[in-house]
């Protein structure tokens, strides 16, 4: 039985000027620009390389790699549609190789091994946070889907701002630094969720640094009704 409490009061309390304290945490070791580049990439990086349209895992160290990186991969708590196992996160070595394929090159003042460890932790934790926010919405449909949803696929759309993000920007709020669309399976029904990522204060205990705005896309009347109900709960609570 899929049971989870839906508490939407703390879902997105975005302030007008969000402080990017994440930069101060890494600034002395790798610099703000590299940090931003890395985290943007890791949010766009797939959870697993088992999809048929993805290249096989590359766990081989690069020829000019200055230090050894972990090749261990952490299993997520996100159930994968059509499989008995959950989605699996990339290793530090896989992430390093991905950055090289995108044109990044290591320099002495860029990062140390522990920085890669921190980046992977941030990537994994923020994906877990996104899934928990989706489960809050899916709790509205626990009766029709008692086993709970599974994640089918996902994609990054950093340059495609959602209508909600644009409206908030017109009102004076900052734009998100990234956007994802996650497609879940609700017991045979495909549902799309939009996730906007905003800079926030880094939690050193659990490595969360993003403020997430997660909601079902306006692709169906059910999604419209869900968002109307949640908006009313937030307004009256």
Kindly state whether residue 4 falls inside one of the protein's structural domains: no
Do the domain assignments include residue 212? yes
Residue recorded with tokens 């508490």:
7
230 — pLDDT class (breaks 50, 70, 90): very high
Question: Alpha-carbon distance 98 to 89, whole Å?
Answer: 13
pLDDT, average across residues 69-80: 95
Query: Across the chain, what does the average pLDDT equal?
Result: 78
Domain-located, residue 127: yes
Structural domain including 135 reads: 22-236
Q: Which of 199, 203, 204 is nearest to 39 (CA)?
A: 199
Domain tally, the chain: 1
Please check whether residue 15 lies inside any domain of the structure: no
Q: How confident is the model at residue 231 (pLDDT cuts 50, 70, 90)?
A: very high
Tokens found for residue 42: 């890791």
- Structural domain contains residue 10: no
| Cβ neighbour number for residue 192 with a 10 Å cutoff | 16
Residue at 102 is within a domain: yes
On whether the CB atoms of residues 89 and 123 are closer than 8 A, the answer is: yes
Tens of pLDDT, residue by residue over 89-98, are 999 999 888 8
User: Which residue, chain included where needed, has tokens 């920085």?
Assistant: 115
């Amino acid at each position: 039985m899929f049971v989870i409490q839906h508490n939407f009061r703390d879902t997105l309390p975005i302030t007008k000027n969000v402080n990017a304290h994440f930069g101060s945490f890494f600034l002395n070791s790798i610099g703000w620009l590299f940090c931003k580049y890395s985290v943007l990439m890791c949010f766009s990086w797939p959870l697993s390389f088992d999809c048929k349209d993805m290249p096989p895992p590359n766990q081989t160290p690069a020829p000019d790699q200055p230090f050894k990186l972990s090749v261990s991969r952490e299993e997520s708590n996100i159930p994968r549609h059509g499989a008995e196992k959950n989605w699996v996160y990339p290793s530090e070595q896989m992430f390093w190789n991905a950055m090289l394929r995108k044109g990044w090159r290591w320099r002495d003042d860029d990062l140390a091994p522990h920085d890669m460890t921190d980046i992977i932790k941030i990537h994994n934790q923020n994906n877990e946070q996104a899934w928990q926010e989706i489960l809050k919405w899916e709790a509205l449909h626990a009766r029709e889907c008692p086993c709970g949803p599974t994640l089918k696929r996902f994609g990054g759309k950093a340059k495609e701002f959602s209508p909600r993000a644009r409206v908030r920007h017109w009102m004076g709020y900052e734009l998100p630094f990234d956007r994802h669309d996650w497609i879940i399976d609700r017991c045979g029904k495909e549902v799309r969720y939009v996730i906007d990522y905003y800079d926030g204060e880094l939690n050193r205990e659990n490595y969360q640094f993003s403020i997430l705005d997660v909601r079902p896309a306006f692709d169906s009347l059910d999604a419209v009704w869900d968002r109307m109900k949640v908006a009313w709960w937030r307004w009256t609570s």
